[in-house]
């Protein structure tokens, strides 16, 4: 099993996704765009594609961020989807997955930074990959936007601040606007990168400040993410055998 990560920024680290991959003994590769890495030419060798977040939007141009090429990422993501790979996009990654399938990203009603609950929809509660979430679960957030919806997409979970927290595009393709990969180490990097922005958001009702962010317990969400990923890879193996 080969898991490939697209990493947009050093402070948008894979966290629990990386831990899950390594704990399962999977081979792991990375495209670190901020270091000038290029996307793989061939998708055949990879099994799972995980597209991480970043401060960009899918509309960010190369003039605004020279190492971010949204069109190239959308094309690569679509190649992986069409090849039957398991694909998970997180935050910016979720918006790029939606865009690759023809669904335009949108602004979220609220900025969310910190740990807040998401609530499963009927579709989420009836989905075997998420039954261990229960009706609601506390997860991490750090976003202003949300993924678009294709006609076939199902909203798995929402929050008070964002109606599209988890989206199922197909049985093997998911967008997570929320950040279940957060660990204290990941949070430390995000705080450092946002030290000028966070004080300006102190009045926002869904924004926590560094003291709270550093004391949040991310263990439960990491464990639930790992179970989802195990079930996703199981579905991937079944699909490959058909």
- Residue 104: the pLDDT is 98
Report how far residue 18's alpha carbon sits from residue 7's, in angstroms, rounded to the nearest whole number: 11
Where does the pLDDT of residue 128 fall: very low under 50, low under 70, confident under 90, or very high at 90 and above? very high
Task: Determine the pLDDT at residue 156.
Answer: 98
pLDDT at 200 over 90: yes
- Give 12's pLDDT tier (boundaries 50, 70, 90): very high
Per-residue pLDDT tens over the stretch 151-176: 999 999 999 999 999 999 999 999 99
Kindly give the pairing relationship between strand 27-32 and strand 106-120. unpaired
pLDDT digits (tens, 9 = 90+) for 19-67: 999 999 999 999 999 999 999 988 999 999 999 999 999 999 999 999 9
pTM: 0.97
Domains and CATH numbers, the chain: 2-241 (3.40.50.880)
What is the model's pLDDT at position 41?
84
Sheet order of strands, 86-90 included: 27-32, 2-7, 48-51, 86-90, 173-176, 166-170, 154-158, 106-120, 136-146
Please report how many Cα atoms fall inside a 13 Å half-sphere around the Cα of residue 179, on the Cβ side: 26
pLDDT at 231: 98
Mean pLDDT of the chain: 97
pLDDT of 242: 85
Quick check: helix, strand or coil at residue 193? helix
Percent of the chain with pLDDT over 70: 100
Helix axes 92-100, 70-82, angle to 10 degrees: 70
Using CB atoms within 10 Å of the CB of residue 216, give its burial: 0 to 12 exposed, 13 to 18 middle, 19+ buried. middle
pLDDT in tens, 68-121: 999 999 999 999 999 999 999 999 999 999 999 999 999 999 999 999 999 999
């Amino acid at each position: 099993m080969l898991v490939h990560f697209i990493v947009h920024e050093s402070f948008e680290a894979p966290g629990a996704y990386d831990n899950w991959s390594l704990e399962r003994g999977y081979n792991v590769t990375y495209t670190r765009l901020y270091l000038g890495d290029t996307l793989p030419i061939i998708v055949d060798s990879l099994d799972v594609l995980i597209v991480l977040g970043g401060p960009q939007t899918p509309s960010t141009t190369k003039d605004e961020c020279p190492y971010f090429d949204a069109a190239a990422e959308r094309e690569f993501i679509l190649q992986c989807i069409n090849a039957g790979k398991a694909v998970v996009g997180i935050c910016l990654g979720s918006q790029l997955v939606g865009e690759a399938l023809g669904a335009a990203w949108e602004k979220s009603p609220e900025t969310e930074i910190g740990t807040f609950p998401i609530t499963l929809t009927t579709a989420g509660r009836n989905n075997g990959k998420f039954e261990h979430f229960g009706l609601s679960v506390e997860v991490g957030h750090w976003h202003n936007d949300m993924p678009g919806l294709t006609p076939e997409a199902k909203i798995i979970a929402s929050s008070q601040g964002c109606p599209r927290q988890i989206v199922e595009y197909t049985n093997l393709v998911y967008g997570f606007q929320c950040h279940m990969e957060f660990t204290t180490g990941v949070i430390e990097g995000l705080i450092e990168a946002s030290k000028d922005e966070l004080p300006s958001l102190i009045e926002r009702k869904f924004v926590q400040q560094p003291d709270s962010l550093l004391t949040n317990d991310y263990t439960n969400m990491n464990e639930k993410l790992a179970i989802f990923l195990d079930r996703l890879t199981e579905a991937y193996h079944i699909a490959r055998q058909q």
